[in-house]
Chain A
């Protein structure tokens, strides 16, 4: 399968914890990477591999994986975390890159 499925929208109260999920058969063999995109800007990598953060990404961002589901967790969400979040992985063949449909995160 070449599909990654994300919830279209999620909301979280300021300072609370939110989990954004990504489902797909390929996630049983491939870690997802996660990207944050704010309006009018290019996506920014926030999590890759098992649970790695690029330099400059706050440690409130973390990643995990179980079965066919990858998760991005934001612990203590901040107003500046309001954005669209996309997961990415390879398809089951290992050749094609695929993105989830994106999750719009609203911080209340």
Chain B
């Protein structure tokens, strides 16, 4: 059973870089077929997808955050990481890592499918001086 665990500082100063790591256990990032993702949730608000990385290193980011976000992978440690630069108080949130599966296109409907599972427990990052 694959499990994900976020780690990193819980407090970051404004204008600095937020850095988090997600450690994957029970399965290998290198096995392929999954997109390793970061999602955040501002206090009392909904979920915001930040971006994902494939084990090969290919990434895709939320356009609204693209200029500030870097996601990287370390297959030797079975980890992937998030860096968010020039943070402000608006970046205070619970940050989750999750595994995204994109399934095959449904033969009958032609629909595509995808889902996030499992999720890490989340880590609260507060941006404050």
> CB within 8 Å of B: which residues of A?
29-31, 33, 35, 42-45, 48-50, 54, 65, 86, 88-90, 94-102
Contact = CB atoms under 8 A, between A and B. Distances in A.
B116 A31 contact: no
A98 B49 contact: yes
Contacts of A99: 39, 46-49
Interface stretch (B18-26, B78-86, B117-125): B117-125
Nearest to A26: B112
A42 B4 CA distance: 11
Contacts of A65: 111
B111 A88 contact: no
Interface residues of B, number: 28
Contacts, number: 77
A48 B115 CA distance: 6
A67 B52 CA distance: 28
Contact of B112 (A30, A45, A102): A30
Given A29-B110, A42-B122, 11 more contacts: A30-B114, A31-B106, A31-B112, A33-B113, A35-B47, A42-B119, A44-B119, A86-B46, A97-B37, A97-B49, A102-B46
Contacts of B96: 42-43
Nearest to A101: B46
Which 7 residue pairs of A and B lie closest in terms of their CB atoms, listed nearest first?
A: A48-B115, A33-B115, A45-B117, A97-B49, A99-B47, A42-B119, A49-B113
A44 B47 CA distance: 12
Interface in B53-85: 60, 62-63
Contact of B115 (A29, A45, A95, A101): A45
B116 A96 contact: no
12 contacts: A29-B111, A30-B112, A31-B113, A42-B119, A48-B115, A50-B109, A88-B47, A90-B112, A96-B49, A96-B60, A99-B47, A99-B48
Nearest to A6: B46
Contacts of B112: 29-31, 90, 94
